[in-house]
Structure 1
Amino acid sequence: MIDPAAPRTDADYRGLSLWHGTVDDDLSPRAPLDGDDTADVAIIGAGLTGLWTAYELQKRDPGLRILLLEKEIAGFGASGRNGGWVSALFPQSTAALAQRHGREAALAMRRAMIGTVDEVGRVIAEEGIDAGFAKGGTVVFARSENQWRDARAEVERAAGFGVDHLELWGAERVRAAGALGAVFDPACARVHPAQLVRSLARIVERRGAIIREGTTVRSWSPGEVLTDGGRVRARRIVVALEGYAAAVAQTRRRVLPLYSLMIGTEPLPSSVWEEIGIEHGQTFSDGRHLVIYGQRTADDRLAFGGRGARYHFGSAIDPSYDRVEAVFEHLVATVRELFPSIGELPVTHRWGGPLGVPRDWHASVQYDRVTGIASAGGYVGDGLSTTNLAGRTLADLLTEEETPLTRLPWVGHRSPSWEPEPLRFLGANAGLVAMTAADREERLTGRGSLIARAMAPLIGH
């Protein structure tokens, strides 16, 4: 655990996650801001949203002076700790987007998300980033009659929109215990997230961007960012804080920091991977309501995570919340339930962190030409690829180009604020209990959960 009052070192950050522990990079912090400065674009947050935005802006105008302000180190938050899925997932389903924005807008958003998976892979290859990118698709197991019905319905809905290319796999093609089949989505790749985000930081820095780490942003207003190290004057400002926006007074109720936790194993023998049927490049999940997610890493580890950690009063964020033993035990039990042949699970890493959830579970990109302030976020854990789309879109908006990206339905969307406490605390944790109860209800009844049906409109499904 990192002591918030102590100076940071490479060793402090190595313990953040499996990814930070195995990244090929010096994690010692860069110099903080020390005095006032100026920039053409000031970016608050050096995670993937901020770094992709800087990367794309440099392509459009190499002469821009870009300054990124980061409280910790680049890739400290969800960008460096996530499940490593470069997926086409968006927090709102295509059907929900169609209902809100119209069918054509929803299809444009879906095509953009699918295309982004390949765009991330293209950049990784072009820049020579060694991040273990492999596009093997994702397998979502159906492990009950109800999940199997939902799987068939999902494939049928996707066919109706005509954009996704989902496949329905029978039981003979999957190895998860009790699986009746699975949905296979080819639009997903595996990646080592810390390798990606740390490499992007070095790339934009080599091209002239300045990254000031160990710098806490206090507030921002048109033309100015106030930090603990000085003021930054900038014509354009990008707010890219994701879940950590809840720690800043100006954006405290814009997102809810929901914790997701993970475990990682030592490298597993190839015989184990053959037994459980997960190939290199594949990610996997199942049809339960309380989300789980896993991948086979480039070095044959199992990285597996899920929701289940509670929300903390006042949108509090603290390093102690990154590790909850009861959740880790649940993740280990879930893996053994999915793949009993693994036997004793050789867990070497346990970690977690907050992701950003907007009130309507709808990610957004915004830019106000009058104030020069832009923002993007609210990815609800689907941000590894969505940040790339956000960066390209923000670069178009900030350079005032009208493109197909700037016409996507998430541009200009503004989610309502979360309720004040204690309503926020009660509602968020009630939602967690409801999803857990929905899974239990389906196991007991063998039918679709009434609880899940009631919750669906609240989470974009």
Structure 2
Amino acid sequence: MEVDVAIVGAGFTGLWTAYYLARAEPGLRIAVCEAESAGFGASGRNGGWCSALFPASLTSLESLSDRASALAHHRAMRASVDEVGRVLAEESIDAHFTRGGTISLIRGPAQLARARAEVAAARSWGCAEDELQLLDAGAAVEMLAGSSVHGATYTPDCAAIHPLRLVRGLADSVERLGVRLFEHTPVLAIGPGRLSTPSGVVRADTVVRATEGYTADLPGERRRLVPIYSLVIATEPLGPDLWARIGLRRRETFTDFRHLLVYGQRTADDRIVFGGRGAPYHFGSGIRTAYDRDERVFRRLREALVELLPMLADTTVTHAWGGCLGVPRDWCASVGLDRGTGVAWAGGYVGDGVSTTNLAGRTLRDLVLGRESDLVRLPWVDHRSPRWEPEPLRWIGVNAGLRAMAAADVEERLTGRPSRIAGLVSPLVG
């Protein structure tokens, strides 16, 4: 088969890229090959945050370019949240998009120090209170009645979504635009002008790798991105009396300032979806269906949720799942096109991909079509992250880092002071 653009992976990155290319050039021949079904990976399994978060800091982005470019990237991420909402409305995709923002609870003196430093850093970049606000304890509890709350930060730049509804709706939209979507068609190898599948070779002027956490399964890509598992639980629907006690009246997404990340949202049907890191990295960048579930991590997530919101002690967890996300060695997502080979890529979102993939899709559109837009001048374009260390160093380092961050949270709860452990290992685990 011959096409103009062949895309590997029908998650958010691949589908957004196909969508914007088909909108821009209706006659373009586009094929998307997916090993499973559209949204099978992180795109359909995440915690439903469509946020302006980017895995690399503004300081890191500045080091790739300059201050003005870093700020342009920040503005582009904020705009991407609105762009996702715009497309959902235009395409009549009911993904339960509600822009309630994000509250990050401060639950101890050490967390308070980090929150103040984060707000001070934001102010140094010109971010005003309408982007990031420091709340006192009373205002924080009014928004989310967590335990041991000392305050919170709040940003409006996040929408809660139903990720699988979004990705399946996007798949339907691209097919209506004439994109050929081949599900259950694994790609065995990617090369200049071609990709190989069990059914034959697809030839294309441009090949786009949009495989994120599954990149490690491609030949020669084992050390490109580390697949890290993030696991999620969901409660039964909660009644109005319980929600009156909890808060989240605008469907704010929520987290706190612990080191080992947790994330949550109130769903449109009044459940709490709550996830976090803590599952081990598997030797050799291993990816298995069995890794999607870890009962010990599920138990810890429920314990963490009840510790955060004690009123949920008698609430039943009805669903639990997991999946892998892609982590580059320098924690900086990237997008690019090698014009010599015609191979393009995007990924390395470290779990911040729901909106970042949208920005990637629009950027790949402009790169593939040769457009000189503001998007193709952002600092993550054509960035090349270093490769991860070979095994067993990769296994030792990543898992030691994850354990150390969990230990840092325990240390801070006991001492009330910022953890020294966290300062040493945070460059490794983001």
**Is TM (by shorter chain) over 0.5?**
yes
Structure 1 unaligned segments of length 5 or more: list them: 1-36
Residues 329-372 of structure 1: per-residue CA shift (max 9 Å, x gap): 00100111011112212111110000000111110001011211
Mapped pair 1:176 → 2:140? no
**Which of 159, 173, 177 does residue 203 from structure 1 map onto?**
173
**Which of 315, 327, 330 does residue 345 from structure 1 map onto?**
315
Structure 2 unaligned segments of length 5 or more: list them: none
C-alpha separation between the residues in 1 aligned to 2:187 and 2:200?
9
C-alpha separation between the residues in 2 aligned to 1:150 and 1:424?
28
1:458 CA drift (Å): 3.6
Mapping of residues 353-364 of structure 1, within 5 Å: 353-364=323-334
1:100 CA drift (Å): 4.1
Contact 1:107–1:163 (8 Å) recurs in 2: no
1:199 CA drift (Å): 0.3
C-alpha separation between the residues in 2 aligned to 1:458 and 1:343?
34
Residue 132 of structure 2 is matched in structure 1 by 166
SS state of the match for residue 147, structure 1? helix
SS state of the match for residue 249, structure 1? coil
Mapped pair 1:58 → 2:22? yes
1:392 CA drift (Å): 0.2
Segments of 4+ moved more than 3 angstroms: 456-460
Residue 321 of structure 1 is matched in structure 2 by 291
SS state of the match for residue 232, structure 1? strand
**Which of 38, 48, 52 does residue 88 from structure 1 map onto?**
52
1:328 CA drift (Å): 0.4
Deviates most, 314-323 or 150-159: 150-159
**Which of 392, 402, 408 does residue 438 from structure 1 map onto?**
408
Contact 2:234–2:318 (8 Å) recurs in 1: yes
Mapping of residues 99-178 of structure 1, within 5 Å: 99-163=63-127, 165-173=131-139, 174=141, 175-178=145-148
Task: Normalising by structure 1, report the TM-score.
Answer: 0.90
Residue 214 of structure 1 is matched in structure 2 by 184
Over 3 Å counting, the alpha-carbon distance change for 1:413 and 1:400 in structure 2 is same
Mapped pair 1:256 → 2:226? yes
C-alpha separation between the residues in 1 aligned to 2:7 and 2:262?
32
C-alpha separation between the residues in 2 aligned to 1:459 and 1:71?
29
Residues 282-324 of structure 1: per-residue CA shift (max 9 Å, x gap): 1000000000000000111110000000000111101110110
Residue 189 of structure 1 is matched in structure 2 by 159
Task: Normalising by structure 2, report the TM-score.
Answer: 0.97
C-alpha separation between the residues in 1 aligned to 2:58 and 2:249?
28
Residue 453 of structure 1 is matched in structure 2 by 423
Deviates most, 375-384 or 333-342: 333-342
1:228 CA drift (Å): 1.0
**Which of 356, 363, 367 does residue 393 from structure 1 map onto?**
363
1:93 CA drift (Å): 1.4
1:250 CA drift (Å): 2.6
Deviates most, 285-294 or 333-342: 333-342
Residue correspondences, number? 424
SS state of the match for residue 43, structure 1? strand
Residues 51-71 of structure 1: per-residue CA shift (max 9 Å, x gap): 000000011101011100000
Mapped pair 1:423 → 2:393? yes
RMSD: 1.1
1:266 CA drift (Å): 1.5
1:132 CA drift (Å): 0.4
The letter for the 2-side match of 1:444 is L
1:409 CA drift (Å): 0.3
